[in-house]
Structures are given as C-alpha cells and as structure tokens.
Amino acid sequence: MFVCLIVWFFISILSVFSAFSLLSIFLEKKEIIKLLGIQPFLTSFIGTLALSNLFMILAFFSSLRTTHLVVVSIAVLSYAFFSLTRQDVQTLADILRENFLTMLISSALSFFLISIPHHEASDIVGYHIQMAKYLHEYGLVTGLALIHPQLGHQSIWFALPAPFEDFLGIYSSLIVGGFSLFISFCQFFRSLSRINKDIYEFFLVCFFLLSFVAFYARVYVTSVEVPLNIIIGMTVFCSLRYFSSEDETPDSEVKHLFFWPAVIFPSFGFALKLTGIPVFLFGIYLFIHRFGFKLNKSHLRWGIITTILVLTKLTASALTSGCPLYPSSLFHLQAPWFIGENSSKEVIELITTFARLEVTKAPENINHLNWIFPWSKTLGGKGVIYLFIFLMILILSCILVLKKDFLIFCKKYTSVLLFAAVGVLYVFINAPRIKFMGPYIITMVSMFLLATFQKDAILSSLSLVASFSISEIMVANRKLGLIQALLLLLLVISSTLYREKYKQFIFLTAYTHKLVLHLAYFTALTFYSSTNTNLLLLPEVSSLKRQFTSQDINGVKFFFPKNSISCGYSPLPCSLGKVWSEFSLEDIELIDKEKGIAGGFKRKNYSPE
C-alpha cells in the first residue's frame, strides 16, 4: 500500500508539471494555475497522458529504462522551475495540501482493488504486462502481432509502466497501470465535496460512481478501458462547462479554461484505443463549434498536438502488425511483418464473435443478423442490458420530474447526448461488450441524473436507487434488487416525513451505498486470497506469476507457460503456441539476427507484393 502511495504521488506531481508544459501552448500561466486550483486531478491527468505518449514515442527508438524516466522528470521539472515564481510554487503547494487527504484515501481504496486475483484469461495477464515489458527491454518491437494477435493492439498507456520496470519489476504494470483507478477515486471525492460550489460537479460524481459499481467491476482496473473511461467522463464535464449559460457560469474565463481540456482529452482517446474514435470526433466538433474553419494560431497549435497523438497510435500499430488501424488491414503496409489480410479478417471475426457470443467460433446457425438474442443471454450481454434498463428508467424519471424542461435540456445538450449515442451504436455494431460500451452509456445516465438533480436532489436520489433495484431484479441479482427496493422504501418514507432534516443523509445513502458494498467485497476478497505477507507495502501478484518451458525456434528462445492459457509476467518472448489465429512460430524469424528481438520479427519466406 505504501509503495503504491509513493509511486502514485510521484506520478501525480510529475503529471501536474507535464500538464503545465502542454497547456502552456494554449493558456497563460495564471490560467493554468487557476484551472489546477479548480480541477487538480482533471488537469494532472492531461499530464499523465502526455507522459504516456512521450514514452511511447521514445520507445520507437530505444528501450524504456529508468534513465528515460529520470531525464523526462528533470526536463519537466526544469521547465517548471524556470517558468514558475515562488508565489506560483506556493499556490501549487497549497493545492497539494488541500487534496492530500483525498489522495491518501483514494490510494488505500485503489490498492485493494488492484490487489484482487486476476483471472488467467484477463487482458492484463494476457498481453498488457507483456507489452509493458517488451517496451522496457527492447522498445517497440516490430512484428509483435506475428507472435500473438493481441500484441498488435497498441496503446500509449502500455508505455507508462515500462520505465518503472527496473525498480518495480512484476509490480510495475499493476501499480502504474492502476494510477487511472487512483485518479478516478480522487476525482470522485473531489467532485463530491464541491457539488454545492458547482452543480456540474454532480455529473462527475454520477459518472465515477457508476463507473465503480457498473463498469470497473466488469473490467480489470489496470486495463486501457479505465483511462479511456476517464477521458470520456472528463471531456463531457468540460464540454458541459463550455456550453453552460452566463447565469450558470458568470465567469467567462472559466468557460474558456475548460474548453481546452475538452478538445485535448479526445485526441488522447484516439491514442489510447480505437473505441475512443467517437470521443475523438466529438473533440473535433467542439473545436469547430468554437473556432469554425477559419485558420488561426489555435488551429495550428491544436492541429500539431492532435497530429502527434494520432501518428503515435498509428505508427505503433503499423510497426507491430503492419496495420495502422489494427486489427483492420485498411491502409496496411507492404512490409515483411504485415500479418496479412486473411489474418486480419480472422482477428476481427474472433473479436466480434467473442464480444457477441463469448465463444471463439460462432455456431453455424448464427450470422450477422440473428446474434442479438443469444448475445443477450451471455454475461457480457447482460451487463450491457443492465445499463440500458438503468438508462431507460432514468430517462422516464427525468421526463416525469422535468416535464416540459426535459426537451429544453435535451436541446441544450444535443451534441453531448448525440456523441454518447453514436459511441454506443459504434461499439454495439463492432464489439457489444460492457468494457467497450460502458463509458458511453454511463455518460447518458449521468447526464439525465444531472438534469433531475438540478430540479430536485431528493428525486434524483430516489430515481437512482429505483434504477439500481429494477435493473438488478430484471437482469442480475434478484435478492440484491429486492434489498435495494427495501432501501428505496425507507428513503421514500424518510423524504416524506423528514425531507429537510435528512436531505443530506438521503443523498449520501443513495449515491454511496452501492460503492461501499463493492469496496467492502473487494477488500475482503483481497485479504482472503492474498498470499503476500507484506500486503501493507505491496499489492498481491501471485496471479501474475507463471512457470515456463522454453524452446529454440529459428534462432529465438521462446517461452511457453505451463498449465496456463496466458503468459502473465514472463520472460520474453512468450508464446501460447497455436491457439486461434497466431502464426506458427516456425514461420516467424528475426528481421536482424545481430539486433535480436529488438530488431523485430518478420514472416519467413514472405515477400510483400
């Protein structure tokens, strides 16, 4: 736990100064400090993403070692040293002091969530740890997708843990990758404490609350989906502040401050994962909405930053698979490490089939038109349906509470709601799993909760509990749904008899009871399953370890996990053999035998057309 706190605290400090460096392209120094004072965690997360992208660019040229972390840290801190006055540093120290308790509590809660056992089929032991380790030992290795298709999925988030590998080892991906969960908790508690000062903070309270109980519980909290989820939530929050009226935000400078994070975050969304394309397009829309198509300095600066982020993602994917838009073979390179159009189609088919049916090969009677009913019976399908039911109930309650104002609310935020709906549709067509669709559905749910809260805080609390109860009864756990129905009854009675006296109690109970139950469960699970005698120092990692055999193939020593379907924290290169659409290792060879693995892999006896 203490190691996590130290590492997350260090990344937070470094992220603040990295964000300062990036935002100085668009904002004045005093404006950045003001933004940090209002939203320290939102602002610092921009810096975290900037660091991730910088490390990925460095990985194109060399392995990522502690030296790179030290050099980048010195460069960022030096920039801050020459840019900030003593008064500025004192202001930043006051911001840190104000939020230190929040960071401490968030660190403890995040620690127990990252320490739970990881299923051997999960992405973190499947390829996330492997990717970070490749970046640490060799840099970005050309042709990695030939060894395993999942290694073709590139994200700047994989680069962040790599330079920490020298001193964190097996804990690197778990602790550094878990920083996004830590930021989620920090932002949740920060927004919860500021609702009375800024009603739009309520959106972030709802967004992260639902992320904790309905999304993070279904994905592995160190995965790329978590930072992408944060990007989507923070982009929408910033856009709400940008679209707010003069009555809601009298200070026009604040609207200006939040505009730039609203258009910067989406570009990082593309660099993280292709399921971030909808939020990327939303960022472009916001920029055009403000500046139009007339070229100016703002266009040039934002265009350069966005181009760098997009090219980082495309280049990383092209180097590992030959496909810039991997797994799609669209615009593929005629390179000796290109996986081939047939292999590309196989990977896409497998991803889609598994997302729809949770099997690697669809039954003969299932096609692209009749998969929805069997999908609805899978665990992943039920998770999506749970959120859809939740959304429908909240829309209904929002209509009942707002009446005519409902249409006014929808009209005012048409672009936000349309963006979320496009995100849902885009993912539903390609890979309808909760890990991909969740953030977009949660965005709409949080928007309608915000609308209800602006009208009546008590009714928003009751509608939330009612939505949880009905969704649980219809899709998930009927007993838990009935318990929540009982809680709803007690809250209704309390609000009827003692509305003003227990207003705060009703609100906190409605919006935290589910989170408290989840945290209690995962904390107990961590202690029950842990074999770590130093749990107060470091998280549990026994589920990441594997035993291996090895074999020399075409001059490369490959490692194979024993009695496991994933590589976990393994020596490199690790292979599972021929599982689904991998190339046979006999058909893969080194590009440059003198450079070894660092020089990359290519297909044996293959000549690009």
Classify residue 233 as exposed, middle or buried by CB count within 10 Å of its CB (0-12, 13-18, 19+). buried
Distance CA 2, CA 107 (A): 9
pLDDT at 464: 86
Residue appearing with tokens 């949660």: 442
The residue type of 264 is I
pLDDT at 8: 95
First to last CA, the chain: 54
Per-residue pLDDT reduced to its tens digit, 259-273: 999 999 999 999 999
Residue appearing with tokens 């590009």: 591
Distance CA 438, CA 444 (A): 10
Distance CA 545, CA 125 (A): 9
Helix (H/G/I), strand (E/B), else coil: 443? helix
Residue 591, number of CB atoms within 10 A of its CB: 18
C-alpha distances out from residue 463 to 416, 438, 538, 573, Å: 22, 20, 40, 52
Nearest to 4, CA basis, from 195, 226, 183: 183
Distance CA 579, CA 589 (A): 19
Residue appearing with tokens 């660099």: 271
> How far does CA 193 lie from the centroid of its chain?
23
pLDDT at 226: 92
Radius of gyration of the chain (CA): 24
Phi and psi angles of residue 456, each rounded to the nearest 5 degrees, phi first:
-160, 110
What pTM, to 2 d.p., does this model score?
A: 0.93
Written as one string, the DSSP assignment of 126-195 is IIIHHHHHHHHHTSS-TTGGGT-GGGG---GGGGTTGGGHHHHGGGHHHHHHTHHHHHHHHHHHHHHTTT
Written as one string, the DSSP assignment of 505-567 is HHHHHHHHHHHHHHHHHHHHHHHHH---TTTTTS---GGG---EEEEEETTEEEEEESS-SS-
Distance CA 91, CA 157 (A): 30
CA angle 131, 151, 380 (to 5 degrees): 105
Nearest to 302, CA basis, from 286, 326, 325, 324: 286
Instruction: Answer for the pair 170, 222: CB distance below 8 angstroms, yes or no.
Output: no
| Domain locations along the chain | 457-545, 550-603
Helix (H/G/I), strand (E/B), else coil: 479? helix
The residue type of 216 is Y
Q: Which long-range contacts (CB under 8 A, 24 or more apart) does 595-599 make?
A: 597/137, 597/138, 597/141, 597/556, 597/572, 597/573, 598/63, 598/138, 598/139, 598/141, 599/142
Bridge partners of residue 548, in order along the sequence: 561
Q: Which residues of the chain have pLDDT under 70?
A: 245-252, 529-536, 578-582, 608-609
C-alpha distances out from residue 124 to 20, 119, 131, 219, Å: 31, 9, 10, 10
Residue appearing with tokens 């949080």: 446
Distance CA 519, CA 398 (A): 29
Per-residue pLDDT reduced to its tens digit, 7-34: 999 999 999 999 999 999 999 999 999 9
Q: What number of CA atoms fall less than 13 Å from residue 528's CA on the CB side?
A: 6
Written as one string, the DSSP assignment of 237-260 is HHHHHHH--TTT---HHHHHHHHH
CA angle 79, 237, 504 (to 5 degrees): 115
Instruction: Answer for the pair 350, 581: CB distance below 8 angstroms, yes or no.
Output: yes
Query: How many residues make up the chain in this entry?
Result: 609
pLDDT at 312: 96
Instruction: Answer for the pair 391, 441: CB distance below 8 angstroms, yes or no.
Output: yes
pLDDT at 246: 58
